[in-house]
Amino acid sequence: MAFTLPPLPFAKDALAPLMSPETFDFHYGKHHQAYVTNLNKLTEGKPEASKSLEEIIASAPAGGLFNNAAQVWNHTFFWNSLKKGGGGEPTGALAAAIARDFGSFAKFKEDFTTAATTLFGSGWAWLVLEGGKLKITQTSNADLPMKHGQTALLTLDVWEHAYYIDHRNARPKYIEGFLASLANWGFAAENYSKAGGR
């Protein structure tokens, strides 16, 4: 069965002005769609065509098949990491875990901002769970936490095309807007709970 572009979890104008409809036209409508299209071309008539994204990501060697499957997964996860009226601070078990593992939410914010700002080139900043502890990680290009035995809880895409239309080269402004107004802490808390976090 062919891979398909999943619908956005919000209207494409819902996150404006931090992320404009034009950004979604390109980032979702062109970039994400291209990864789906390429993945279908690469798997057509092959055993991988009947595998899940996660199965392909786990078994594919470095190269085109892995890159396209991982980027379909990464982008779908990223859209779910965004929410109109998001940002602020999490509550409940996730908030307690952030305080436990980073010392405070303010320290988490500082560390996440540093990770997202200092990642050279294209990639992702992640909040992950590994060995029962929360960590902030960076991955380059299509790389993702599941390749490193980690569970992704929340991510920010810091490829230039994610923010250039709305923020030009001001990546720090984009990161600040994500943490202040867009981060979907409900999604992160759900992932934390599913992974057995407490």
Domains of the chain (ranges plus CATH)? 21-80 (1.10.287.990), 92-194 (3.55.40.20)
pLDDT confidence of 193, banded at 50, 70, 90?
very high
Look at residues 19, 26, 23, 21 and name the one whose alpha carbon lies nearest to residue 181. Answer: 19
The pLDDT tens digits of the residues spanning 81-121 come to: 999 999 999 999 999 999 999 999 999 999 999 999 999 99
Question: So what's the pLDDT on residue 150?
Answer: 98
Q: What is the pLDDT of residues 30-57, one digit of tens each?
A: 999 999 999 999 999 999 999 999 999 9
Phi–psi pair at 188, nearest 5 degrees = -65, -40
For 143-177, what is each residue's pLDDT tens digit?
A: 999 999 999 999 999 999 999 999 999 999 999 99
Contact 125, 144 (CB under 8 A): no
Q: Give the model's confidence band at 197: pLDDT under 50 very low, under 70 low, under 90 confident, else very high.
A: confident
Residue 1 has pLDDT above 70, yes or no: no
How are beta strands 123-130 and 133-140 bridged, if at all? Answer: antiparallel
pLDDT band, residue 178 (cuts 50/70/90): very high
User: What mean pLDDT do residues 2-7 have?
Assistant: 97
* Euclidean distance between CA atoms 167 and 164, whole angstroms: 5
